[in-house]
Chain A
Amino acid sequence: MSMPRLSITLATTALAASMALSSSVALAADGPLRGNIRVVIGSSSTGGDTYQNSAIVVDQLSEALDLNMKVDAVGVSAAYRALDRDPRGNTLMIFHDQAYLGHQYGVEGYKDPFENYIIGPTIAINPGNAYLVPKDSPYQSLDDIIEAVGSGETVRVAIQPGGVSEIGYTALKNAIRIEHPGSEENLVAVNTGSQADKNQLLFDDQADLINGSVQANEQYTRLPEDDQKAMRFVWLTARHDTLQQAHEEGLGQTDRETLLQFVEPNVEVTMGDAGNFAFDKEFFFLYNKDMNPEIVEQIDATLAEIYAEGEIQETQKQSFFIPDFMPSDEAQAHLREKADRYAEIIDSIKP
């Protein structure tokens, strides 16, 4: 979310916030949310960005609502199952764009989140989704890769199929289809799993380009070129305006200025008439379809209040996340539009 849009959002919700602010204790006692609340997440790792983001937000939420809230890293299918069974609002879920991307890529177990759940407020963006090459790669930039593939060279990209890790690859393939019709076949996906496996493929020379993240790969980009493990960023999928909001220090010892070289418009991945491709990995709430709408409002209002205070933004930025609060209706419209945009690209490269 851009800075002006963020302030508009904050301003529009300020009214609701100020009402809620009047008595936040009363809010908890009178509000529709009761008892202990469990927030399940679509990741089973407690070391990942989903857990970290959820922990930051749930911590604040629990304090503001004066309720016991706990984040449980149960993983996608278990999280949906827990959510399905509980329309009371004691179970909430936090996940990211994978929720609809998984469905669009046709991964088993992913239902259409817009149909089957209520999309809640967005909370933050992780701008770190990245693509890297070995430091001694002949490709200096993503443009080089597009040109090389266009001229018939085979380029292998290591990704985890079926979601956030694949969307950049899909967009790249689509861009090549537009610029060099027919040669997109030369961009080949090497399907793999964890970040460790993706890195290993690069070390083994089994891939020319890998999906990674600023968080996981930043140190590798600072290794000397003669090190087999050394890598180089060629593309960060985040939007320029998103990354611009990060702290100036960036992450590790790579500052924001350096990172900005690898996002649009410096790096161009065309979507044809629709302009340039960019992808922000956004985290948002998901609710049971039959949950009391008052709870939706209550959480929206409480979050608006928390974000209005401004402290949470600092915590998020400290961890290299970009604050991105949108109340439910706004988030629904925004994600819907985003999902439709990506659906088009995914469809366009289907064989």
Chain B
Amino acid sequence: MEILSYLDITFFLLASIGTLIGIIFGAIPGMTATMAVAVCLPLTYALGLEHGLALLLGLYVGGISGGMVPAVLLNIPGTPSSITTTFDGYPMAQKGLGEMALRVCVVSSLVGGLISAMVLFFFAPLLAEFSIKFSYVEKFLIILLALTVIASMSSNMLIGIFSGVIGIWLSLIGTYSLSDGGNGKTRLMFDALEPYLVDGFSLLPVLIGIFGISTILLEAEKGVKSGLSGAKLDMGKGGGFSLGLFKGRLTNLTRSSFIGTFVGMLPGVGGSAASVLAYTQEKNLSRDSSEMGKGAPQGLIASESANNALTGGALIPLLSLGIPGDSTTAVLIGAFTLQGIQVGPLFIPENQDTWTVMMIALVFANVVMFFLMFYAIKYIARVVLVPKYILYPIIVMMCVVGAYAINYGIMFDVWTLLIFGIFGYLIEKIGLEVAPLIIGFILGSSAEVYFVKSLESFGTYSIFFTKSPIAVVLWLLIAASIGFSIVLGLKSRARQKMELSQVTGSTQQGDRHDG
């Protein structure tokens, strides 16, 4: 057994340290798993492939999981894939249930991570074979499916869709990128801004601007009232957490994990789509989803199991096609090239040892993540007790570091923070919805590429319906998703009317709040 020679103390130590650093990166608003992997990449040269991979996979798993912390406690997604965690996590934290929310997240993350690792181990080549059946047309339909969730997650469907389309519009600013197969020409901008906007607005600064900076502006407007409202933090005794919360949620947990793995596996669809899809499927399919968006654990379960399942999913095309499934694995590929190892369809058969070692590191990192976080949560949750006059300046500073570092040092990304901070503030004020807008922004540019490329290749709109059986299935899912959201919309309208007739006048702000 040659493998055993790699599995020394150092190996497990590196995986643990990686996970810890990853969690810290993920937990800091503005820092992401991608960044954690990127900054530690040069270290792997000295460590050798197996040890280097242990560190990087730890960082990856830790970074994705760590994103839940600011999402729940501060309403700022620590990584793009934890957006949906904010929907239910933050309302729970506001009710003083932050600790419980985080524990639900940790358990879901562990399950998601392990399920996807298992899928990766047993079915990687098979699934890679399946994933290449997805051409431009099918990828566009997957994105369309993810976009339909906008309808079901907004509190007012018209406003939600309008916000989503604004998000798509914003994502188109800049060049129609050559590296996506576009013609490299700029659109939707003023000439004066062209030097800064050629690459458009990048996702992370937009995200932390619209969630982080705008939250601070909104608080500033209210005068930054001190402390947590009422300090009703439910400390100790696990914050009211028990595994009983997962009772009746096993379907949700498994379904979301598989959705996460599957979406992660499709290159170019974008990792954030995973948790969004899982979240809305839960909303559409669960028996009672009326509490989702107001602080329901089921939302956290869907979101967090899906985004951790992404890790195994995104490794599938990387290791069996040589194609990264998301932005973090795109950086991870550097670890292989630095060591002179080619990843491609023959990687797994030709590097059995490395492959096994990676799987061990992946599973181990998930377990370490679980123990580190589950027992640290008690202390982490106290972040909300830090006075705002200390906390807010630090958040701004960390957002700056994150925004500046995400594209390896571009000052315009820092200004993007402010632009979208103010924009987020205005959105909130005029009653548009943030979540659909962000989802539109995330998916907009790939929607464009796959839509236009499909038409360029086939020259007819009918191709979207006739391309393949997969396309037909996707259309059925899209139709179902839209159908569900209309039904849900009607239901909630009926309920609102009932409430309105009981308590008149109390819903004045009803059209303005969102998750």
Contact = CB atoms under 8 A, between A and B. Distances in A.
A200 B135 contact: yes
A24 interface: no
A46 B179 contact: no
B443 interface: no
Contact of B331 (A47, A52, A108, A162): A47
B469 interface: no
Interface stretch (A27-35, A212-220, A289-297): A212-220
A46 B317 CA distance: 18
Contacts of A46: 38, 41, 331, 334
Interface string B324-364: 10000011111001101010111100100000000000000
B340 A219 contact: no
Interface string B251-282: 00000000000000001100000000000000
B289 interface: no
A204 interface: yes
A108 B185 CA distance: 6
Contact of B408 (A74, A108, A190, A195): A74
Contacts of B346: 219, 222-223
Interface stretch (A10-18, A75-83, A274-282): A75-83
Contacts of A206: 135, 457
Nearest to A200: B135
Contact of A109 (B41, B198, B453): B198
Interface in A234-258: 251-253
Nearest to A45: B330
Q: Quick one: which of B180, B183, B317, B322 has the most chain A CB within 10 A? A: B322
Given A77-B199, A200-B132, A223-B345, A161 B331 contact: no
A224 B315 CA distance: 23
Contact of B181 (A75, A191, A222): A191
Interface of A: 38, 44-47, 51-52, 55, 72-75, 77-78, 81-82, 107-109, 160-163, 190-197, 199-201, 203-204, 206, 215-220, 222-223, 227-229, 251-253, 318-320
A228 B342 contact: no
Interface string B177-213: 1111111111000000001001100000000000000
Given A193-B178, A220-B345, A222-B346, 17 more contacts: A38-B409, A44-B407, A52-B338, A74-B408, A74-B409, A77-B195, A81-B195, A108-B184, A109-B175, A163-B178, A191-B183, A194-B179, A195-B323, A196-B267, A200-B135, A217-B344, A320-B340
Contacts of B396: none
A160 B195 contact: no
Contacts of A160: 178-179, 181
Contacts of B198: 77, 108-109
A107 B317 CA distance: 31
Contacts of B410: 74, 78
Contacts, number: 129
Contact of A78 (B332, B347, B407): B407
Contacts of A218: 342, 344
B166 interface: no
B372 interface: no
Interface in B387-445: 407-410
Contacts of A196: 267-268, 317, 321, 323
B449 interface: yes
Nearest to A228: B132
A173 B189 CA distance: 35
Contact of B337 (A47, A107, A192): A47
Interface residues of B, number: 50
Given A78-B407, A193-B182, A219 B453 contact: no
Given A52-B337, A75-B407, A109-B198, A193 B180 contact: yes
Contact of B135 (A47, A72, A78, A204): A204
A202 B333 CA distance: 23
B59 to A, nearest CB: 14
A163 B331 CA distance: 23
A193 B344 contact: no
A203 B409 contact: no
B459 to A, nearest CB: 12
Nearest to B135: A204
B331 A193 contact: no
B408 A73 contact: yes
Contacts of A222: 346
B199 A319 contact: no
A72 B409 contact: yes
A161 B267 contact: no
A200 B457 CA distance: 13
A47 B178 contact: no
Given A46-B41, A51-B334, A319-B340, A108 B407 contact: no
In order of increasing CB-CB distance, the 3 nearest A-B pairs are A219-B344, A193-B181, A72-B408
A24 to B, nearest CB: 23
B179 A193 contact: yes
B256 to A, nearest CB: 26
A51 B42 CA distance: 11
Nearest to B132: A203
A89 to B, nearest CB: 17
A174 B199 CA distance: 32
B160 to A, nearest CB: 31
A193 B177 contact: yes
14 contacts: A46-B331, A47-B331, A72-B408, A74-B408, A74-B409, A74-B410, A108-B186, A109-B198, A161-B181, A192-B453, A194-B180, A196-B323, A220-B344, A319-B340
